[in-house]
Amino acid sequence: MATIKTALSIEESLFERAEALAEELEIPRSRVFSIALEQFLSRQDAKKLLNELNAVYSDAVARDEDEEAARRAKHRGMVEGTW
């Protein structure tokens, strides 16, 4: 996989934490940033998918509720006055 060099401006404390983690894991600091970005992007993708699914299912539930209300109203109209 091709890599691209980039420059980032981050808080010094965050840099120090990333540096310490890279040393602890014995991996390059750039790999720490790559892993973090991969995880962040995966979470964002999952959130987007969840929002899309929620939108689809909320529309389906609303339609089902509207249909149920219409059925009840029709039934009520059929049985009113028969008791």
Length of the chain: 83
| All structural domains of the chain with their residue ranges | 14-79
Q: Collapse the DSSP code of 79 into the 3-class scheme (helix H, G, I; strand E, B; otherwise coil) and give the result.
A: helix
Question: d(Cα 37, Cα 65) in Å, to the nearest integer?
Answer: 41
> How far apart are the C-alpha atoms of 77 and 79, rounded to whole Å?
6
Could you write out the DSSP letters of every residue in 12-39?
HHHHHHHHHHHHHHTS-HHHHHHHHHHH
Residue 73's pLDDT is 75
pTM of the model: 0.64
pLDDT under 70 in the chain at which residues?
Answer: 59-62, 64, 75, 77-79, 81-83
A 10 A CB-CB count for 29 gives 14
- The pLDDT score that the predictor gives to residue 77 is 67
